[in-house]
A and B are shown apart, each in its own frame.
Chain A
Amino acid sequence: MNTVTTNPVLRLSNVAKTFVTPNGSVRALDPVSLDIRQGEFISIIGPSGCGKSTLMNIVGGLLDDYDGEVQVDGVPVRGCHKEIGMVFQEESTFPWRTAIDNVAFPMEATGVPREERLSRAKDLLRLVGLDGFEQRFPSELSGGMRQRIAIARTLAFKPRILLMDEPFAALDEQTRLLLGDKVLQIQQELNQTTMLITHNIAEAVQLSDRVLIMTFRPGRIKQVIDIELPRPRSSKLMGGEKFGHYVAAIWEDLREEATRGLLEMEGARSGS
C-alpha cells in the first residue's frame, strides 16, 4: 500500500551532533543518513542515551547546531518549520484551553478563520476518538486522552512529517496498545509520514514499516529491519508468529546495546 516514489519526503545526510560541556565534548550522534518515503512509518529504537531524542530534536528543528543536512522534499531545512510537527513525551496540552481549543491552537496562530478552525478541530478530535469531549479541559481527561489531544493538535498543523518522541511512554501497557491502534488508523486515513522514537519493541513492530535500531552512545544506526506485516494492522497482530519473530530479531540486536548502556550508566554512577 506504500506508494514508492523516487524522492524521499525526509532525507538525513550525515547528521551528527557533538555536545560541548565544561568537561570536554560528548559525541551524542555519529553521522546518520536516512531516507523516508511519503506515507512511511518508521520507528527509531535504542537504549537510553543512544541519542534518539537528539536526532528527533534535530529533525524537529529544536536543535540548530549540528553537522550534516536535513532535507524535506529535497530542500535543506534549518530550525522549526511548518513541514514537521512534533508530539512530545511530556504533558503538553494547554491546561487553560478546552480540548477543541487545544486542537485549534496552531490554526489560530496561522490565522485560520474561527469557523473553519473549529470545524477542522472537531474533525480531528473525531479522528483520534474524542468526539463528545470537545468542551472538556485537559484536567478533566485521562493521560491517554490528553496525549491524543496533543496528537490531534499537531495534525492540525498539517505537517508533511509527524515526529513523535515516546508519546505513550507515560501510559500503561494496555492503553498504549489501544492508542497504537488509533495511530495506525490515523496513519492509514491520512497517509501520514511518521517518525516515532520509542523504547518499546512491540510498539515499534506493531506500527512501523521499518524499525531502525540505534547503538549506545555515540548513537549510530546499527540495523534496519523491514516489518513486512500486512496492513491494515491492529494490536491483534501481537499473537502472530511473524510478530514474535520480529520482536525477537530486534531484541537480538538491541540487547547488546542495552547491556552496554546499562553497564556504562551504572559504572558512571558508582564512579562518581
Chain B
Amino acid sequence: MAAVEQIGAARPRRKPQFWTVNKLRVVGIVVLVGLWEAAGASGLFFQGVLPSSFLIVKALLSMMVTLDFWNHVGVTATEVLVAFVLGGSTGIAAGLLLGANRYAGDVFEPFIHYLAPTPKIVFLPILLVLFGVGMGSKIALGTVSAFFPMALSVMAGVRQVSPVLLRVGKTFNLTTAQTVRMIYLPALVPPLATGLRIALGISIVGCLLAEYKLAKAGLGYLAGRYYEAFTIAPMLAVLAFIFITAAFGNVLIERLVRLPGPMDRRA
C-alpha cells in the first residue's frame, strides 16, 4: 500500500518572506510621511494647512496630559462601544434570521439591501429630536450605522454555507441545535469577523459625525472645535488618535474572532 501514501502529497505550509514584506511596509509608511512633509514645506498649500508631523505629535502629547482630552475620549469610547454592541448584536440576529428563513429573507431583504449603502447621517435630525443632543443621539446613529453591514455579511454568510456540508450533517442525524453549533457557527466565523470589523469602523464614523454636527463633548466635537479655530495641528492630532485607536480595535477583533476554531476544540 506504499503507493497510496504518496498519492497527492500534502501541500507545504507557505512561509511568508518575513523581512521583505515588513521592510516594504515600513518603506511605505516612510514614503507617505516624507510626501506629507515635502508637501507641507513646498509652500504650495495655504500656511499651516499641512503642519509638520513633528508638530502634530507634539500637539497630541500635550493634549494627552490634560484631563479634558480623556473626558472627550471617554465620551466617544462609550458611545462607540454601546453603538457597536447594540448594532452588532441586532445585526447578527437579523442576519441569522434573514439568511436562514427564506420567507423572512424575501420580505425584508430589499429594505436592508437598499438601506445599507445610504448615508445614515440623514437620520441625524430625527435622532436628535428623539434622543437629545447628548450621547443618546450619537449612540443611536452609531447603532443604525453598525446594524446594516453586520446584518448583510451574516445573512450572506448563512446563505453561503455549503449545502453539501449541511447534507453531511443531515446524514449524521444532527439535531437543529447541533447543526447550528457544529456547522453554521464555525462556517460563519469569517463573515462574522468581516462584519464586526466593518461595523466597528462605521459605528465610529456614525458617532463622530453626530458629535461633529451637534454635541457638547467627544472627539468629533473636539476636532470640530479645533477646526473652527483653525488650529490645524491639534485637530490632526485628534484625528490621528482616532485613526490609530480604530486600527488597533480592528486588530483586536481579528485576533479575537480568528482564534482557531474556538467551538471545535471543546471537549
Contacts and interface: CB of A to CB of B under 8 A. Distances in A.
B228 interface: no
Nearest to B3: A178
Contacts of A62: 167, 170-171
A90 B172 contact: no
B40 interface: no
B168 interface: yes
Given A82-B173, A88-B164, A142-B10, A182 B4 contact: yes
B191 interface: no
B1 A94 contact: no
Nearest to B187: A96
Interface string B157-176: 00000101101101111100
A245 interface: no
B7 A175 contact: yes
Contact of A157 (B7, B172, B186, B264): B172
A162 to B, nearest CB: 11
Contacts of A105: 172, 182
Interface string A140-183: 11111100000001100100000000000000001100110110
Contact of A81 (B4, B9, B173, B182): B173
B173 to A, nearest CB: 6
Nearest to B190: A96
A129 B5 contact: yes
B8 A142 contact: yes
Given A129-B1, A182-B1, A109 B172 contact: yes
B35 to A, nearest CB: 39
A85 B172 CA distance: 8
B168 A181 contact: no
B16 to A, nearest CB: 15
Contacts of A101: 261, 264
A94 B165 contact: yes
Given A140-B10, A145-B10, A106 B172 contact: yes
Given A62-B171, A96-B261, A141 B165 contact: no
A92 B165 contact: yes
B164 A90 contact: yes
B164 A178 contact: no
B164 A97 contact: no
A181 B10 contact: no
Interface string A35-58: 000000000000000000000000
A94 B186 contact: yes
B178 interface: yes
Contacts of B168: 86, 88, 92, 153
A94 B168 CA distance: 10
Interface string B178-189: 100011001101
Contacts of A61: 170-171
A124 to B, nearest CB: 15
A174 B11 CA distance: 19
A267 to B, nearest CB: 30
Interface in A63-120: 80-82, 84-86, 88, 90-92, 94, 96-97, 101, 105-106, 108-109, 114
Given A129-B1, A140-B11, A179-B7, A96 B186 contact: yes
Interface of B: 1, 3-5, 7-11, 13, 162, 164-165, 167-168, 170-174, 178, 182-183, 186-187, 189, 261, 264, 267
A-B pairs with lowest CB-CB distance, top 10 = A142-B8, A114-B267, A90-B164, A144-B8, A106-B172, A96-B186, A86-B171, A129-B4, A92-B164, A178-B7
